[in-house]
Structure 1
Amino acid sequence: MRKSIFTLAAVSAAALTLSACGNEAADADGDGEISAEEASDAMSDIKMTPGEYEVKASFTEIEVEGMPEAAKKAMLDQMGNVPAQKMCVTEEMAANPGAGMFGGAEESGCTMDKLERSGSDMEVAMTCKVGEMSVVSNMEGTMEAESYTMNIEQTMTGGPTGDMKMKGTVEGKRVGDCPA
């Protein structure tokens, strides 16, 4: 399964349109990994508003091992101007926002390392394996019923351009009903 770093960031964060409450640490069995079942249990009281969400990701820092400054600047300029993506959150997804909503479903190649909520604040850490590449994502931010802002830090190793670190922001908001 091939996924770009932007896709991993956007898909991971797009579903964070959550209204979180309580203070939850999802690793119920203490094994250091959050299973799909544990994530689903920790998020069982979260209520999302179904509908179409517009997601914008912008990266403000990038470090690429061995890449010339001009090439890094061009990459950062391109990643800072990524068009908004739209995502439909169905009634079923809104009623059951388990680990799959974060890209943490077992079949996705991603594992959730951390999922904590307190009020409208949330922290998520996950590791995704795509072939020889590994992407570690740490996200924290604020979610409301129909919008969110998440700061994201990603570290990629084993990729074709060498090791890469990126920092940015993913913002999303509900823009209406899903198209028919």
Structure 2
Amino acid sequence: MDDLVSKAKKGDPDAFTDLIQSQMKNMYKTARSILSQDADVADAISETILICWERLGSLKYNSYFRTWMTRILINKCYELIRKNRNITVDAEFPEQGYQEIAYENIEWKETLDSISEKYRLVMMLHYVEGFTVSEISQILEISEGTVKSRLARGRDSLTDIYDLRKRRANI
């Protein structure tokens, strides 16, 4: 990845495209853990890509590209949430397109959505994206101890939800 970042910093659009393509799935998962609407996720990702392209030269260490990009994405997600709070909803709702999702994915998504966002985000960054506690601390600008406690509380929340569903199934 460092090679692609170097080429992209020199203005190579193909290298930047390859770099972004390699991170697209990770970006979607991270944004989706914060935002509930796919349109908002797409907006956050596209704005993040634009900012990354414009400010790539300010990245000091190529090896931190993914952490840097993720921080920008998270900031964009929170910015969209703030903007959406100020928007009033029209009486008419646009039609939603049909989307087929496997049952397991729906159940997993519902389970993750049922835990607090601060725990969900840290868990997604650690377990899905593979960031270390130290990297998450830098991305979210919180202490490593806070990251560790949020991971533990998130795991506890998931365990509680699983146990509750298991008990309901046995009733």
Structure (1 or 2) with the greater helix fraction: 2
TM-score range, shorter chain: under 0.3
Please tell me whether Structure 1 or Structure 2 has the larger radius of gyration of its CA atoms. 2
Structure (1 or 2) with the greater strand fraction: 1
Q: What TM-score comes out, normalization by structure 1 length?
A: 0.25
Q: What TM-score comes out, normalization by structure 2 length?
A: 0.26
